[in-house]
């Protein structure tokens, strides 16, 4: 943090907490007390009314506020929850910026609003799922990919697919031109032009390993707009499944990615899915046991029977 940013941050920190000692400020901004003393002097010379009380610390003169912004309780809660989300889902660099933003927002709130916001935030909590909690290496990868996108550098990595290719191989080495990152259902996806396939592909960050930024550059296409991008839909295999009425609500709550239609019938809930291949849905179907039955296609019905026979042999 440079001196200018630190001076503003000190003012905001004093405005937010009232009275702080030099050693407290030194710990917060990871600097020495001598530097804090110089910063306080610079603020005083610049006209900021910083008051020093021996044995207590520094504070701002009563009535001094920066900046002249006004938020409702709901607006402030929304912004602060947003910083929580960024800290959970984004890389370390953005997480640190989110923490700085949170401090600035809290600092500019009038005391009454700040107390109401603090109380409201105690009633709301963001819990990351196991997958979206983002292991340390995954956050590092997000930061690396974000930098590569901005600098228009190609990246190389090993990729593991959930389902094997037609040649039976699940693992491959890819070199791609990264265009953007998308957070989809709690998982980070990279949109990139794949050198191997010579087309746009989607890669889940959690399935990458040995990520390397290359010196080879690429030209970001002027006609590609991530916010407007819609991937082509090649899911042309229709699947229909019937669930027992007792567990129908559980299947609805599962929010399967491939689910397209739900229709209640006398004998249970009939669900329609669209997939590329039956392997994408097979584990999900098996997880519900005898409480669901595949109506079509016959290929999926056969696979379920085969897996049931294998399980019987194991038990």
pLDDT for 289 beyond 50: yes
Sequential DSSP letters for 199-243:
EEEEEEGGGEEEEEEEEEE-PPPTT--GGG--------EEEEEEE
Q: Give the mean pLDDT of the chain.
A: 86
Read off the DSSP letter of residue 163.
Answer: S
In the prediction, which pLDDT does 178 show?
A: 96
Cis peptide preceding 297, ω within 30 of 0: yes
Q: What is the pLDDT of residues 39-86, one digit of tens each?
A: 999 888 888 888 888 888 998 887 766 555 567 788 888 888 888 888
Q: What is the pLDDT of residues 186-213, one digit of tens each?
A: 788 999 999 988 999 999 998 999 999 9
| Contact criterion met (CB below 8 Å) for 175 and 214 | yes
In the prediction, which pLDDT does 306 show?
A: 94
CA–CA dist 208, 83 (Å, integer): 27
Of residues 84, 126, 128, 127, the one with CA closest to residue 105:
84
Q: Which residues contact 108 (CB under 8 A, 6 or more apart)?
A: 12, 15, 65, 66, 67, 69, 71
In the prediction, which pLDDT does 132 show?
A: 43
Crossing angle of helices 33-45 and 3-17, rounded to 10°: 90
| Distance set, CA 142 to CA 89, 93, 178, 211, 291 (Å) | 10, 10, 12, 10, 40
* Percentage of residues of the chain with pLDDT beyond 70: 92
In the structure, what pLDDT confidence band is assigned to residue 165 with cuts at 50, 70 and 90?
Answer: low
Q: Are strands 50-53 and 57-60 parallel, antiparallel or unpaired?
A: antiparallel
Report the number of secondary-structure helices (H) and strands (E) in the chain.
10, 12
In the prediction, which pLDDT does 232 show?
A: 75
Q: Which residues contact 126 (CB under 8 A, 6 or more apart)?
A: 81, 84, 85, 88
In the prediction, which pLDDT does 152 show?
A: 95
For residue 84, give both structure tokens.
């929580």
For residue 295, give both structure tokens.
């109506």
* Percentage of residues of the chain with pLDDT beyond 90: 35
CA–CA dist 110, 269 (Å, integer): 53
Give the full edge-to-edge strand order of the sheet including 50-53: 19-20, 57-60, 50-53
| Contact criterion met (CB below 8 Å) for 226 and 251 | no
| Contact criterion met (CB below 8 Å) for 37 and 43 | no
Read off the DSSP letter of residue 294.
Answer: E
| Highest-scoring range by mean pLDDT, 21-25, 69-73, 165-169 | 21-25
**184 phi, psi to nearest 5 deg:** -120, 115
Q: Angle CA(84)–CA(88)–CA(91) in degrees, nearest 5?
A: 115
Q: What is the pLDDT of residues 96-150, one digit of tens each?
A: 888 888 888 887 788 888 888 888 888 877 776 544 444 678 889 999 999 999 9
């Amino acid at each position: 943090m440079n001196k200018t940013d630190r001076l503003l941050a000190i003012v905001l920190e004093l405005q937010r907490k009232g009275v702080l000692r030099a050693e407290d400020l030194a710990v917060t901004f990871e600097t020495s007390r001598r530097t804090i003393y110089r910063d306080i002097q610079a603020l005083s010379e610049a006209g900021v009314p910083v008051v020093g009380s021996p044995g207590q610390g520094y504070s701002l003169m009563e009535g001094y506020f920066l900046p002249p912004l006004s938020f409702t309780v709901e607006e402030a809660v929304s912004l602060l929850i947003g910083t929580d989300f960024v800290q959970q889902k984004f890389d370390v660099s953005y997480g640190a910026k989110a923490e700085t933003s949170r401090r600035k927002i809290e600092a500019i709130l009038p005391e009454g609003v700040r107390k109401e916001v603090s109380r409201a935030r105690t009633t709301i909590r963001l819990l990351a799922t196991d997958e979206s909690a983002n292991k340390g290496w995954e956050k590092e990868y997000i930061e690396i990919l974000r930098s590569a996108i901005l600098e228009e550098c190609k990246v190389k990595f090993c990729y593991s697919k959930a389902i094997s290719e037609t040649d039976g191989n699940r693992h491959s080495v890819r070199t791609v031109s990264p265009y953007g990152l998308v957070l989809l259902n709690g998982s980070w996806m990279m949109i990139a032009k794949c050198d191997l396939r010579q087309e746009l592909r989607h890669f889940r960050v959690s399935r990458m390993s040995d990520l390397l930024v290359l010196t080879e550059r690429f030209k970001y296409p002027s006609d590609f707009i991530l916010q407007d991008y819609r991937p082509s839909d090649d899911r042309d295999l229709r699947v229909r499944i019937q669930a027992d009425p007792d567990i129908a609500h559980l299947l609805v709550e599962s929010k399967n990615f491939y689910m397209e239609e739900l229709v209640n019938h006398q004998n249970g809930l009939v669900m329609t899915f669209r997939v590329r291949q039956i392997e994408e849905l097979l584990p999900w179907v098996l997880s519900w046991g005898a409480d669901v039955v595949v109506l079509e296609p016959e290929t999926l019905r056969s696979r379920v029977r085969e897996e049931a026979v294998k399980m019987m042999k194991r038990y």
